[in-house]
Chain A
Amino acid sequence: MGKGKTVKHLIDKEWCKGCGICIHFCPKNVLEFNKQGKAKAARPEDCIACKLCELRCPDLAIQIIEEPGSRK
């Protein structure tokens, strides 16, 4: 987690095709499949906002939004 920042994962479930690229390449193991086989942020508190998922998502379905403000 970036210092004093919260990270929001906007994942478009309609656009996601469940290829799993984001899940595989996430260095902090933040993402996983939901019941429909689409990506979801299961552990957003571990996210360091490296944006590798956003960069490599072939469906442009992920947006990472960093917001200032500390997290518990």
Chain B
Amino acid sequence: MTKQAFNFKDYIRPRFFPHIWCPGCGHGIVLGSLLRAVHELGLNKNEIVITSGIGCSSRISGYVDFHSLHTIHGRALSFATGVKLSKPSLKAIVPMGDGDALAIGGNHFIHAARRNIDITAIVMNNRIYGMTGGQFSPLSGSGKKATTAPYSTIDRSFDVVELAKSAGATFVARSTVYHANECKDLIKKGISHKGFSVVEILTQCPTYYGRKNKEGDAIQMMESYKTNTVKIGSKKLEKNPNLIQRGVFVENTDIPEYCEAYDKIIETAMKGKA
């Protein structure tokens, strides 16, 4: 290997460590995977902009030594859209929590997907609002317990992959923190893809989701990702269709990317003026 070996200390702001996440929180593993993905792609730290909203997951923007914007709840994608349109050469990465992405920012999420703007949205799905004390989120699913649902929730959950697919995202993938290497590979693919990429990563919140739903500690929750997920189209699905599928669901390169399409419009509009 000619490339310099990976050392995460080259990519973080060590003065903010140890981070604020709880012991066993999966968000740290996602952070590690993101840094490895950036390293393997050989990206310059100055060509990446991390935009995040509010929530545990959104703290990532403070920990990484890239350009970073810590913005308002749910609107990280809108800020990233602005950044990307003004400087299309930057790689825009948006780490989001499940609530940030699909409840507060649900509208921004589907419209960013519809526009197919070259942003990589990493949806860190821990199925709860951890930072504010364990309220149920649109991904908790029915029958789950949370601080605000002591007798279990009645709301059904979104399927991030299906939602992103139908909203028009041109790259959609899913992985879990147990499969940290796969997670890194999918983030890499997402960043390299030209167009709106959604990478859903199932991550554990042992403090609220795990404790409320008696799913055990971080280790048991990670073990459950091993047993409850399979690769897309696995034969195990015939026996148990409830298993969660992992892998790349959509990879479409035919649809024009928003910034490029916008440049064409400018070109057309400028014709005849000169």
Do residues B18 and A15 form an inter-chain contact, with CB atoms below 8 A?
yes
B180 within 8 A of A: yes
Look across to chain A and name the residue whose beta carbon is closest to the beta carbon of B35.
Answer: A60
Q: Complex: how many Å from CA A24 to CA B25?
A: 15
CB proximity of B97 to chain A, nearest CB, Å: 16
Give the contact stretch, choosing among A1-9, A28-36, A41-49, A51-59: A51-59
Q: Complex: how many Å from CA A17 to CA B27?
A: 14
Per-residue CB contact flags for chain B residues 25-61 toward chain A (1 = under 8 Å, else 0) read: 1111101100010000000000000000000000000
Q: Complex: how many Å from CA A19 to CA B18?
A: 14
Do residues B219 and A21 form an inter-chain contact, with CB atoms below 8 A?
yes
Do residues A20 and B219 form an inter-chain contact, with CB atoms below 8 A?
yes
B262 within 8 A of A: no
Per-residue CB contact flags for chain B residues 176-204 toward chain A (1 = under 8 Å, else 0) read: 01101100000000000000000000000
Do residues B18 and A18 form an inter-chain contact, with CB atoms below 8 A?
no
B79 within 8 A of A: no
Do residues B24 and A19 form an inter-chain contact, with CB atoms below 8 A?
yes
B160 within 8 A of A: no
Do residues B219 and A58 form an inter-chain contact, with CB atoms below 8 A?
no
B151 within 8 A of A: no
Do residues B218 and A21 form an inter-chain contact, with CB atoms below 8 A?
yes
Q: Name A58's contact: one of B7, B12, B26, B181 (CB within 8 Å).
A: B26
Q: Complex: how many Å from CA A14 to CA B19?
A: 11
Size bin of chain B's contact surface: 20 to 34
Do residues A60 and B7 form an inter-chain contact, with CB atoms below 8 A?
no
Do residues A58 and B27 form an inter-chain contact, with CB atoms below 8 A?
yes
Q: Name B28's contact: one of A14, A20, A24, A58 (CB within 8 Å).
A: A58
- Kindly list chain B residues whose C-beta atoms are within 8 Å of the C-beta of A59: 18-19, 21, 28
Q: Complex: how many Å from CA A21 to CA B219?
A: 6
Do residues B177 and A60 form an inter-chain contact, with CB atoms below 8 A?
no
- Kindly list chain A residues whose C-beta atoms are within 8 Å of the C-beta of B32: 55-58, 60
Do residues A55 and B23 form an inter-chain contact, with CB atoms below 8 A?
no
With contact pairs A19-B218, A21-B219 given, residues A58 and B18 touching in the complex (Cβ less than 8 Å)? no
Look across to chain A and name the residue whose beta carbon is closest to the beta carbon of B27.
Answer: A58
Q: Complex: how many Å from CA A15 to CA B29?
A: 14
Do residues B17 and A58 form an inter-chain contact, with CB atoms below 8 A?
no
- Kindly list chain B residues whose C-beta atoms are within 8 Å of the C-beta of A55: 29, 32, 36, 180-181
With contact pairs A20-B219, A21-B222 given, residues A60 and B17 touching in the complex (Cβ less than 8 Å)? yes
7 A-B pairs (CB sep. < 8 Å) = A14-B18, A18-B23, A21-B222, A56-B32, A60-B12, A60-B17, A61-B18
Having A57-B29, A60-B17, one finds 6 other A-B pairs with CB under 8 Å, namely A14-B18, A21-B24, A24-B219, A55-B32, A58-B25, A58-B32
By a beta-carbon cutoff of 8 Å, the part of chain A in contact with chain B is 14-15, 17-21, 24-25, 55-61, 63
By a beta-carbon cutoff of 8 Å, the part of chain B in contact with chain A is 7-8, 12, 17-19, 21-29, 31-32, 36, 177-178, 180-181, 206, 217-219, 222
Sorted nearest first, the 9 A-B pairs with minimum C-beta distance are: A58-B28, A19-B24, A17-B23, A19-B23, A15-B18, A24-B219, A55-B180, A58-B29, A19-B218
